[in-house]
Amino acid sequence: MNFIGLAAGSLAAILVSLSVQAQDDERCKQGKSLRLVNGKIHTMDSRDRVVSSVLIRNGRFAAVGSEGHHGGDDCTEVINLRGRTAVPGIIDNHNHVVLLGLRPGHDTRIENARSIAEVQATFAARAREIPEGQWLTALGGFNISQFTPPPATARMPTLQELDTVTPKHPVLVMQGFNGPTATNSLGKAFFSGLNPPIPVDDNGVIPPVTQSIRALNALRALQTFAEQKRGLGYAMTYAAEVGVTTHLDQGGFPNVGVANSDNGVDALANFDRYRAYDSLRALYQEGKVFNRIWINFLHMESDPTTPELNARLLNVFNDFGDDMVRVLGIGEFTGGGLFPTGDAWRNGTRLVAMARWRNENHSLGFNVGGIPDWKIIIDGWQSVHDEVRVMPGLSDGITNLRWVLAHVPFMDTEYLNKLKGLGGGISLVGGWRYISGTATGNGPPFRLIIDSGIRAGMSSDGMQISPMNPWLGMYYAVTGRNARGDLINAGQLTTRKEILRLYTADNDWFLNLDGKIGTIEEGRFGDLIVLSGDYFDSKKVSDEEIKDVHSVLTVVNGKVVHDNLDGKKRMYWNRDSRRP
């Protein structure tokens, strides 16, 4: 503060106010409480209560009801929601936020773009806030099929289209795990200068997988640790904007030190297991983690004795940490490779059962040896259960370990019942099939799974194969339509409330946080989002408009971590300029 030129009277007033401030800080040193009033707050509790006011103190909901119901005190900040709709913070029970944080360059989320013009608008907005010359990158989370509505065929933005909006920033755009990949003129100049050069065609396309992965790793080689921390901060910022307050991260594939292989190794989903969590730990120690980040460790190894998994289980505590960062279990692989086959997977799974950890495996719906992967996993879990339950102290087998089958594009009642009998649950995904699903590559069977009564919860599986934005997944569950507008999942639709419940209240079980998170009830974690529109009213937010829902106020652990209530903060993914 500049005191020069202040009249004595106003200086005295400032000193008084500073001392009041000091007393206030002393009194409020436990942290300020937060009271939200005049809202339409859907608690998602078992009675489906809608209340107008909540008080959050010490990170927990302290009172839930109406304005007259509770007061707070001098240390309470009051925010008037002016009738807006609020819901519990979204819990994403399966994603890859750690990988997103590790992306080189300034991540530019184009997962919400529905045309090339919207891709351009998103880059233009990002370019305005990033110093010239620095890389803008859009790596994973989208599918080119979403950029060119039918009848046009799916394609990348061209070099010329990228140059129009990013003349002063090099750009790299990469789909999925290893391409297709495109760049702009400044990017092309950089890649041409490498030794050996990375070829870029006239349209900005970097041709084969090998060269795409080389391009990615050329940028990774430039990345500093400070940039990794910045990247994770940005990933949490984006999550807060779309309303995700809690992540259960499912790890990455191990780097093998081959940065340009045809097999797609050291591609977008790979990381250095020794260093991958450094930025998360550093931000945690600095008190700068503002999403809840739960960790599963992914184990991909071919040695049938699974030495790495064995070491993990012997030397790491499971379900350990605090309410913001916590190690949970093993997943989404348990030894072996991409598919649940062979001795490594089988032995790894047995080890996890004997160590009594949680376990999660993904099902992509592919056949392995003529048998669907989900049948192999559930039958494999059954036989591991039968093996270990005769061992001393393990008579309940895996039935209390809450093992989770993820994605499940396909499933049937017989196997749902088997999994239920093993105490397992299902992590459903929406965004994956939304951006790339087809009439036969569809699912998951939301209706079948919800109606079966098995434990089920929602996830995004962002950020390679699928977008993080939960509203795209909810749109897909409610309408059955993919990003190209094709109805591909008819007969398996959910209501809006059902799918939101899977993304909030029902996800407490997936984090071992039963009764502690996911609803707005006294004593639960103080995580809440205020929505851009009334999601529950189809007259105010049409089915198509579900895709545009986002958070205008995000509260995590009782603290405001994103505030756009007045509409003045330009979002990173820029809703306003998104429609050119």
Q: How far is the CB of 132 from Zn ion (least distance, A)?
A: 35
- Rank residues 250 and 507 by Cβ distance to Zn ion and give the closer one: 250
Q: How far is the CB of 237 from Zn ion (least distance, A)?
A: 22
- Rank residues 250 and 494 by Cβ distance to Zn ion and give the closer one: 250
Nearest to 528 by CA among 68, 34, 75: 34
Count how many residues are written for the chain.
580
Nearest to 92 by CA among 247, 250, 213: 247
Q: How far is the CB of 467 from Zn ion (least distance, A)?
A: 13
Contact call for residues 127 and 136 (beta carbons, < 8 A): yes
Question: Look-up: residue for tokens 């999601």?
Answer: 535
- Rank residues 99 and 121 by Cβ distance to Zn ion and give the closer one: 99
Backbone region of residue 566 per phi and psi (left: phi > 0; alpha: psi in -120 to 50; beta: other values): alpha
User: Which value, in Å, is the radius of gyration of the alpha carbons in the chain?
Assistant: 24
- Rank residues 81 and 463 by Cβ distance to Zn ion and give the closer one: 463
Nearest to 442 by CA among 416, 390, 480, 499: 480
Nearest to 251 by CA among 308, 290, 210: 308
What token pair was written down for 292? Answer: 């809840």
Contacts to Zn ion by CB under 5 A: 250, 461
Question: Angle at Cα 201 formed by Cα 195 and Cα 202, nearest 5°?
Answer: 130
Pairing of strands 90-95, 244-249: parallel
Rounded Cα gap, residues 546 and 238, in angstroms: 18
Q: How far is the CB of 374 from Zn ion (least distance, A)?
A: 15
Q: How far is the CB of 461 from Zn ion (least distance, A)?
A: 5
Q: How far is the CB of 450 from Zn ion (least distance, A)?
A: 21
- Rank residues 459 and 519 by Cβ distance to Zn ion and give the closer one: 459
Rounded Cα gap, residues 470 and 91, in angstroms: 9
Question: Angle at Cα 480 formed by Cα 478 and Cα 484, nearest 5°?
Answer: 120
- Rank residues 461 and 527 by Cβ distance to Zn ion and give the closer one: 461
Nearest to 294 by CA among 260, 265, 274, 324: 324
Q: How far is the CB of 300 from Zn ion (least distance, A)?
A: 12
Q: How far is the CB of 291 from Zn ion (least distance, A)?
A: 17
- Rank residues 88 and 331 by Cβ distance to Zn ion and give the closer one: 331
- Rank residues 96 and 346 by Cβ distance to Zn ion and give the closer one: 96
